Structures are given as structure tokens and as C-alpha cells.
Amino acid sequence: MRIDQEKCSGCGICIPYCPANAITIVNKKAQIDEDECFECGNCSRIRVVRCPKKAFFEQPGLYEGTRAARKFFSDPMTTHSVTKIPGRGTEEVKTNDVTGRVVRGQIGIAIEMGRPCLGTNMEQVEQMTVALGKLGIEFEEMNPLTHLMEDREKGTIKPEYMNEKMVSAIIEFGIPVSQMVPVMDVIKEVAKELDTVFSLDMIYRFEEDGSLPIVPVLEEMGIRVRKNSKVNLGLGRPVVTR
């Protein structure tokens, strides 16, 4: 994002809204540190910051270079050209009753790098994807991050994207339940090395009796399952019964 220096009055109302803390006042004008900017679009929205001078504008050619990754992984008002899904991941549990992405005997894992608050760069994302690649993880085809990988088996990211920063990038994949323990062990190990944070989530298909037998296994591993979750009620049609 950029600021028209002719229009900017230097009032500074935009400053607290920036999730990247990228806006400062220099010589009585607001300026954006483009290296830090996530391209989330907050500052330019007329119903968010409400800049009285309408001084914010998107830089020309944003969607043509590697910087587009910042936009797709930060601004939910954009829709990725490959997935056709707004936001930065898949429809995950939201439509799983219809898509059958995660069926009985499997779990779906999402590692939301940079969430909450800190954001991430691709170097940190690659730390996790390379570690998972060694376990033979097959990364989710419908997630835009997978399309930035140079080698999907190794989990390496294309070098030209390594300096891009974003609000969050989601590493998504499905595995058999039997692989859960070694995969979670690797995730826990990489967590110790990171300079950012990630939110971790796991999709599970309810058993026929409505139970969730993975919960005690997770707790035994020292992984706390929070009391709040997201439940797919199974009202979609046609419903996947597996």
C-alpha cells in the first residue's frame, strides 16, 4: 500500500489500524514501510480507517509480482485465482460435510503461521514445511501456499518468495489418524525454533456415536484442546457419509 504524499494531511488516524505497525509520521506526513506492510488493505478501506483525504492507494502491478503473496495471505477481500476461495486457506471444516475432504480414519491439520498478531515471513513457513516434508506429508492442493512451493515433496518454498511477509500463511494437509503422534511431535519441535507463533487446528469427523476419541490422545501428548471449537452440523447436501 502507498500514501499519496500530496494528499496526506499527517493526521495519523491510520497509525493504530495497521497490523504490521508499518505506518509512521515522517516530516508531518504518514509513510508506509513497504518492507513491513502486509498489503492487508485495512488502511485504504473507506469504512475502516476513513482517511479524510483518501490518500491511500494500491501500488501498480501489485498482483503481478511476488508481492501478490502478501495480498492473498493478508486480505480476505481478495479471492485467489487458483482456489477461487476468499481468504488464505481452503474451506476446511466449513464444507467438509459436502466435500468429504476429511473422512473417518483421517484428520485434517492446519498450522496457521503468524496467527495471532505477529505475522510471518516465508522463511519461517519453510522451517515448518521442510520438517513436515521429511515425514512424507502431502500438502493440500487447494491451499494457495502449496502453489508457492518449489518442491512439494521436500516442502521448499520458491526462493523469490522468501522475503514476503503476511498476516498469516496456512499449512494444510490430511493424514491418517495413525500418523498423528509423529506429526504432532515434529510440529512441537519446530515450534521451539520459531521467531513467530502459529495457531494449530485439527479437523476430525465425529464417530457414529458422536464421540471424539482423538481428544484424550492429544491431551496425553500435552496438547491442550480448547473448550471452544467450530462444529459442522452436517446440514449440507449431498452429505458425505464416510
Partner 1 sequence: MTHSLHRRGTEESLKDDYVLLVTSAYGFNHEGSKDKMRKVLEEVFAEEPANIGSYDTGTILSGVDIQEIRDALNDVPRVRCSFSTKEKMLAVLKKIKELDQGMSVTVSGLTEEVLDMAKELEIKPHCINLSLEVWGNVEKLPSEEVLELVTMCGHGLISSGLVEDCIEKVKKGRMTTRDAAIKISHPCVCGIYNPDRAEKLLEKYVPLKEEELA
Query: Which residues, numbered 173-232, are part of the site for partner 1 (CB under 8 A)?
Result: 187-188, 191, 194-206, 210, 212, 215, 218, 223-232
Smaller CB separation from partner 1, 6 or 208: 208
| Residue 86 sits in the site that holds partner 1 (CB under 8 A) | yes
Which of 3-11, 25-33, 85-93, 147-155 is the region at the interface with partner 1 (rule: CB under 8 A)? 85-93
Shortest Å distance, C-beta 11 to partner 1 = 14
Cα distance between residue 128 and residue 81, in whole Å: 25
For residues 95, 98, 103 and 107, what is the CA-based torsion angle, rounded to 10 degrees?
A: -10
Is residue 130 within a helix (H) or strand (E), and if so which, with residue range?
Answer: helix 122-133
Instruction: Name the residue among 199, 183, 186, 209 with its Cα closest to residue 104.
Output: 209
Is residue 184 within a helix (H) or strand (E), and if so which, with residue range?
Answer: helix 180-191
Cα distance between residue 99 and residue 67, in whole Å: 31
Instruction: Name the residue among 102, 196, 86 with its Cα closest to residue 144.
Output: 86
| Residue 45 sits in the site that holds partner 1 (CB under 8 A) | yes
Cα distance between residue 167 and residue 19, in whole Å: 8
| Residue 76 sits in the site that holds partner 1 (CB under 8 A) | yes
Shortest Å distance, C-beta 91 to partner 1 = 6
For partner 1, the binding residue among 30, 170, 175, 180 (CB under 8 A) is 170
| Residue 118 sits in the site that holds partner 1 (CB under 8 A) | yes
Smaller CB separation from partner 1, 77 or 150: 77
Instruction: Name the residue among 236, 232, 224 with its Cα closest to residue 205.
Output: 232
| Residue 18 sits in the site that holds partner 1 (CB under 8 A) | yes
Smaller CB separation from partner 1, 27 or 228: 228
Smaller CB separation from partner 1, 27 or 241: 241
Read off the amino acid at residue 62: L
For partner 1, the binding residue among 4, 5, 9, 21 (CB under 8 A) is 21
| Residue 237 sits in the site that holds partner 1 (CB under 8 A) | yes
Contact of 162 with 67, CB cutoff 8 Å: no
Smaller CB separation from partner 1, 154 or 188: 188
